[in-house]
Structure 1
Amino acid sequence: MRRYQVIKDRFLENRIFLSRTVILFAFMLLLVAGLVSRLVYLQVLGHKRYHNMATNNRIKVTSIPPTRGIIYDKHGRILAENLASYSLELIPDQVTDMEETLQRLQLALSIPPEKIAAFNKQRKHYKHFDSIPLLLQLDKTEVAKFAVLRHTFPGVDIHARLLRHYPYAELTAHLVGYVGRINERELKTLPEAEYRAMHTIGKTGIERAYEDVLRGHAGYAELETNAQGKPISELGRIDSIPGADIYLTIDMDLQRTAYDALADYNGAVVALDLDTGGVLVQVSKASFDPNLFVTGISYKDYDRLNNSKNKPLFDRVLRGQYPPGSTLKPFIGLAGLEYGVASMQQTLFCPGYYRLPNKDHKYRDWKKWGHGKVNLDDAITQSCDVYFYDLSLALGIDKISTFLHKFGFGQKTGIDLKGEKSGLLPSREWKRIHREQVWYPGETLITGIGQGFTQVTPLQLARATGTLAKQGNIITPYLAERIIYENRAAEVEHPIQKQIELKFGNVQDIINAMVHVVHSPRGTAKRIAKGIDYQIAGKTGTAQVYTVKQDEEYDEAEIKFNMRDHALFIAFAPADNPKIAVAVIAEHGSHGSSIAAPIAAKVIKEYLGMENKQ
């Protein structure tokens, strides 16, 4: 075979090698340039951003919730306090699989589905690094059970928190109110800096009205954390500012007396300190336990309260609107005297009914055989309807409406709570606008005895009674007496009292007639006068729940309980130097004299007994 000799071209090989070396070197330079440019970006251009990210990985800023202020009664008894409790909380940033984690927690701790649903709604409005509560008020068993499983739940931990507690429960539910979990609507409007560390807010009562005072201000802490996000040291802190404490005008001894005195009746009792306008008693019954709402009420409990026939969630003092019945008669009588339409000596014969001129319809008196010959004093003492039918017709609806408006009827009282109703004071103009009808004389008659369109709240009625007792000095009720901040105390400013221009003699004549209601042998509330050495001025009332037809008679024994008349009573004492005014409404109590008056008497006697001991 022929052999071939391979001729090598060294120049070409060197050229190829050199070109490859240059390309490789250029590629390496490109990589180095990219690396250098990236380092320049990280160390110079992006330094601030990445430094902050690194710091945030190492340092965690956490909110410090403030301690909510305590609420006291006038004697320093705690009405709302903070108790230590444990909560199960999750930090979304540290939870790998939220759904799986929640499912496992639900199985491990028997968490109700509604709690999981509430948590999922709530976490949408929080930051991913915030600690969000899933369960509040864990008991010792639940804490111990989770402690065993803690290592299997990254991002989930137990925190010690202060939870609101109401030691008097039903006694102060509507008055003090309650705090509850912040809902979606509130989260959108509340200042984030203040509420990030908080999970509850005042919902009703004093808790809601004085939320800004009771809440305090959140603080912040900088924590150094390890790679797992666990705090290892505290780098800095701005302490939270605790909420202020509030002292109310309420006297819990009187509050309990009034609540117990209502016994099986639903209704309301309000008592005012006539020297100051402070509310001594504010009872709304039926009531509920506000502690149920603090950690989130269950669907079952809420449904039970919301659908109860007794309406325990309804605040009867502020929002209950009732016909005033005969408790309006002293004010109608005073209007007659002030306008010169009536006098104390003027008499009228009461046959048990009243007819408008040229009309056959009978407007009946509660006493079907009548009261005979009566003057204004007798008419108030015995609560004669016929006398006030005649007086109301003589006054006319325009004068009645104008005069009653001066005493606050048809208006909010201005108490330092939210949600108050204004009642209804009818007039010719009101009916034209709201009913698109003219005003009829018969409507004037029934307005004069507190029936018809007229509606009052118990608080409104107590305020008007106090204003009458103070000779026209308008009483503005309030609850917050003092606010105690961290380093100082402040008296709460209250509205300046106004004066209705009234003739002293006329007011005194009406007060004397109200004294006779209690202390005269013919007075409708004479039974409460026993055992006292001072005089009570009062007026009984009965408010119709439904209208009895012309040819029918009201037979209480045959009427269902929820269709019976409401029992009312207003009073103040001592009559010659008034210290306290009381208004009572006992729903379906039928008779103000036998049901409502004794309730008011218990409150008055206890309060004045306390006054004498001081």
Structure 2
Amino acid sequence: MKRKKIIGTMAAILILLIVGAVAVVLVRRPFDAGKPDELLADYFACIEKGAYDKMYGMLDEESKANISKKDFVTRNQKIYEGIEAKNVKISVKDAKKADGGEKVSYLASMDSVAGKIEFENQAMCTRDSYFDEFKLSWDDSLIFPDMKDTDKVSVSTSQAVRGQILDRNGNMLAGPGTAPSVGLVPGKMSENKEADIAQLAGLLGMTEEEINSQLSAAWVTPDSFVPLKTLNSQQSQELTEQLLTIAGVLINDTEVRTYPLGEKAAHLIGYVQSVTAEDLEEHKGEGYTSSSVIGKSGIEGLYEKELKGENGVKISIMTEDGVEKNVVASVDKQDGENIRLTIDSDLQGLVYDQFREDKSCSVAMNPFTGEVLALVSTPAYDDNEFILGMSGERWDQLNNDENKPLYNRFRQVWCPGSSFKPITAGIGLTTGTINPEEDYGSEGLSWQKDESWGDYHVTTLHEYSPVNLENALIYSDNIYFAKAALNIGADNLMKSLKLLGFGQELPFEIKMSQSQYANDGGTIDSEIQLADSGYGQGQILINPLHLATLYTSILNDGNVIRPYLTYSETPKSEVWISQAFSSDAASRVKTALEKVVNTPEGTGYGAHREDIALAGKTGTAEIKADQNDTTGTELGWFGVFTEDAAAQKPVLLMSMVEDVKDRGGSGYVVDKSAAILQGYLP
């Protein structure tokens, strides 16, 4: 019995020892130790997540003794986020046992701001003897091979040169230029520094706080040139002389984006500005930096991708002495493309100069090829002001100007008035609803269909005979075209206008407002609206480029030519709307428009020339609340074109001017257009 008791006691002790041993193992190994390749994969997976604290927890005790958690996190975060590391991956090649652990060979790859980075490397994984798990033996070479703790990673950018915008003859419309940059050299300022800064702030339109902020930047030394403001090269010599009387002021030439035509082409060319935080967020991954510029309007914005090019970027490992030790990755810069337009700078300037005092818009194009030669909106602003820095006062002045110089009129739609009559004529002739020889009879200067129109009458300015299509165009007879529209019919007119691009986007590089025949996408739903539509009133609104484009059908056997803005050495016409009008309709309208310009009775006779055959149509659109409104204004139109496709400078010029009432109506526009053609045509 005693022996059995002893054996039982020993068995119990043995069981307790076994249980205790298991318990110790469970305490020492709370989780699976894993494998070295898995540890390495987990480590690199943390980079893209920004889990640098977790990465530090994977290091062995010796590595932690060599670098603090704070320094580890700061160093890795600066490097990986500085190079914009993404898609970080490793592929283990092999793992070999080594003293205290395993040495893992792997291939690492990642995307960066300088393109793809790939390198082979090795990592030592040590086994923790107490917890029996693998940890990383870390030093800086785990970031990039051969990198030491005293090395730095440098990301340098080579700025791409922005492409130029050129006209058809290679003249620069936007490109590099110089302007005077005003700055301070702190070490050369006088003892009366505060008074000098106050005087300088007043001359430059800056605040003293802005100047002091620039001077207190971390990089500034006593000998530094601290730029404050870039001046317009046209600013007065007197201002420059005043600035140079202040001690420490220095004026250097600096390169800037410049617009030689300034306000003459501002609405067309647009401008660039420094990128904002919103721009960087919106265009993330497109190569923009805080020092980049971006096109904000016009051609600068439209062709931003082509003009900006691609910056060159290089990621280098640098020694503590600033010597480049190794290039990790690089992409060469690609300068932006030059964009050449069909625009003729001379014609653009001539049009602007004639209408600069007006609220107007003009389109000029080659009616046989579709090349757009000028796009002008007046009044305008100088796009160079946006480059050099516009004061808040100047910005408010432009925005509050009642003439709206920032408003791009050639992109809008306007009531065309009688300039629309050739379109009505073309529709009526093509659909067979107008007999060009029919005499509609004289109605005097006022007419209504019947008493159902109440007090409403269509009025016109001239009486003549016979009242047929050709004479109606020559004398610009509203009554004739009101009757013609009724003969065409609302459904027929709306169907035809849809075929002519109404309610559609114009096929052109710059987006224009869509033309309409009724408000809010509606229909022509009354006889009065239909009659008024016939002579370009009612609810007809049309974009000036669209109207000019429709006029090309008159010269191209009824085919509407597509307008375009990108220059080609061998221009070719492209038909936008085939047989918009019949060939006979186009011919008849052309003959009538020749007489509008070349007979004394014609409303466009002011543009008549003996040396060049011209044709065209005037228009005066009434903008008023109702027929009895005497306070409304008038829009004046004139569309004029050369007839010969073989002419040295074939051109179609379409112009609209606001507020021509009591200034000669459309005759005002005719005179201005004649002066433009006088300066442009040989």
Q: TM-score, with normalisation over the residues of structure 2?
A: 0.67
Deviation, 1:547, is 4.3
Deviation, 1:514, is 0.7
Alignment-derived partner of residue 585 in structure 1:
656
Bigger share in helix: 1
Alignment-derived partner of residue 347 in structure 1:
439
Taking a change above 3 Å as real, the CA distance of residues 80 and 396 of structure 1, as seen in their structure-2 partners, is same
Establish whether residue 481 from structure 1 lines up as the match of residue 567 from structure 2.
yes
Name the CA distance, whole Å, in 2 between partners of 1:112 and 1:494: 52
Alignment-derived partner of residue 455 in structure 2:
361
Match of 1:431 among 495, 506, 522: 522
Residue type of the alignment partner of 1:46: W
Deviation, 1:192, is 3.7
Q: Is this contact kept in 2: 1:351–1:372, CA < 8 A? A: no
Taking a change above 3 Å as real, the CA distance of residues 442 and 584 of structure 1, as seen in their structure-2 partners, is same
Alignment-derived partner of residue 491 in structure 2:
398
Name the CA distance, whole Å, in 1 between partners of 2:299 and 2:397: 24
Match of 1:573 among 618, 642, 660: 642
Name the CA distance, whole Å, in 2 between partners of 1:62 and 1:144: 36
Establish whether residue 337 from structure 1 lines up as the match of residue 429 from structure 2.
yes
Q: Is this contact kept in 1: 2:341–2:566, CA < 8 A? A: yes
Match of 1:68 among 157, 162, 173: 162
Alignment-derived partner of residue 205 in structure 1:
298
Name the CA distance, whole Å, in 2 between partners of 1:56 and 1:376: 90
Deviation, 1:78, is 1.1
SS state of the match for residue 194, structure 1?
A: coil
Which structure 2 residue ranges, 5 or more long, are not aligned? Answer: 1-59, 73-123, 125-135, 184-193, 215-225, 233-239
Taking a change above 3 Å as real, the CA distance of residues 491 and 243 of structure 1, as seen in their structure-2 partners, is farther
Q: Larger radius of gyration, structure 1 or 2? A: 2
Residue type of the alignment partner of 2:501: G
Q: Give matches, 1:366-515, under 5 Å.
A: 366-367=460-461, 370-371=463-464, 373-418=466-511, 420-426=512-518, 430-431=521-522, 439-481=525-567, 497-515=576-594
SS state of the match for residue 588, structure 1?
A: coil
Name the CA distance, whole Å, in 2 between partners of 1:470 and 1:382: 25
SS state of the match for residue 268, structure 1?
A: strand
Name the CA distance, whole Å, in 1 between partners of 2:372 and 2:155: 44
Deviation, 1:177, is 0.9
Name the CA distance, whole Å, in 2 between partners of 1:147 and 1:63: 35
Name the CA distance, whole Å, in 2 between partners of 1:40 and 1:501: 79
Alignment-derived partner of residue 605 in structure 2:
526
Task: Report percent identity of matched pairs.
Answer: 26
Alignment-derived partner of residue 118 in structure 2:
none
Alignment-derived partner of residue 222 in structure 2:
none
Name the CA distance, whole Å, in 2 between partners of 1:199 and 1:144: 31
Match of 2:334 among 238, 241, 250: 241
Match of 2:401 among 302, 305, 308: 308
Name the CA distance, whole Å, in 2 between partners of 1:220 and 1:204: 28
Task: Report how many residues are paired.
Answer: 517
Alignment-derived partner of residue 185 in structure 1:
278
Taking a change above 3 Å as real, the CA distance of residues 172 and 138 of structure 1, as seen in their structure-2 partners, is closer
SS state of the match for residue 481, structure 1?
A: coil
Alignment-derived partner of residue 624 in structure 2:
546
1:416-435 deviation digits (Å, cap 9, x = unpaired):
124x21132228x9336xxx
Name the CA distance, whole Å, in 1 between partners of 2:586 and 2:61: 97
Deviation, 1:144, is 11
Name the CA distance, whole Å, in 1 between partners of 2:270 and 2:525: 41
Give the structure, 1 or 2, with the largest relative contact order (CA under 8 Å, sep 6 or more). 1
1:67-108 deviation digits (Å, cap 9, x = unpaired):
00111111121111123579899xxxxxxxxxxxxx9x9989
Taking a change above 3 Å as real, the CA distance of residues 577 and 144 of structure 1, as seen in their structure-2 partners, is closer
Name the CA distance, whole Å, in 2 between partners of 1:161 and 1:136: 11
Taking a change above 3 Å as real, the CA distance of residues 56 and 601 of structure 1, as seen in their structure-2 partners, is farther
Name the CA distance, whole Å, in 1 between partners of 2:326 and 2:209: 35
SS state of the match for residue 174, structure 1?
A: helix
Taking a change above 3 Å as real, the CA distance of residues 196 and 296 of structure 1, as seen in their structure-2 partners, is same
Match of 1:165 among 258, 261, 274: 258
Establish whether residue 273 from structure 1 lines up as the match of residue 362 from structure 2.
no
Alignment-derived partner of residue 251 in structure 1:
344
Alignment-derived partner of residue 127 in structure 2:
none
Alignment-derived partner of residue 675 in structure 2:
602
Taking a change above 3 Å as real, the CA distance of residues 496 and 370 of structure 1, as seen in their structure-2 partners, is closer
Which structure 1 residue ranges, 5 or more long, are not aligned? Answer: 1-32, 90-102, 121-132, 150-157, 433-437, 483-489, 610-614
Q: Is this contact kept in 2: 1:364–1:385, CA < 8 A? A: yes
Q: Is this contact kept in 2: 1:541–1:569, CA < 8 A? A: yes
Name the CA distance, whole Å, in 1 between partners of 2:611 and 2:231: 55
User: After alignment, is 182-191 or 108-117 more displaced?
Assistant: 108-117
1:319-371 deviation digits (Å, cap 9, x = unpaired):
2x21000011111112121222221210122311121233343423232x744
Q: Give matches, 1:2-13, under 5 Å.
A: none
Deviation, 1:147, is 13
Taking a change above 3 Å as real, the CA distance of residues 39 and 595 of structure 1, as seen in their structure-2 partners, is same
1:282-323 deviation digits (Å, cap 9, x = unpaired):
11100001011124422111111111111111111112x210
Deviation, 1:469, is 2.4
SS state of the match for residue 326, structure 1?
A: helix
- Aligned Cα root-mean-square deviation (Å): 4.2
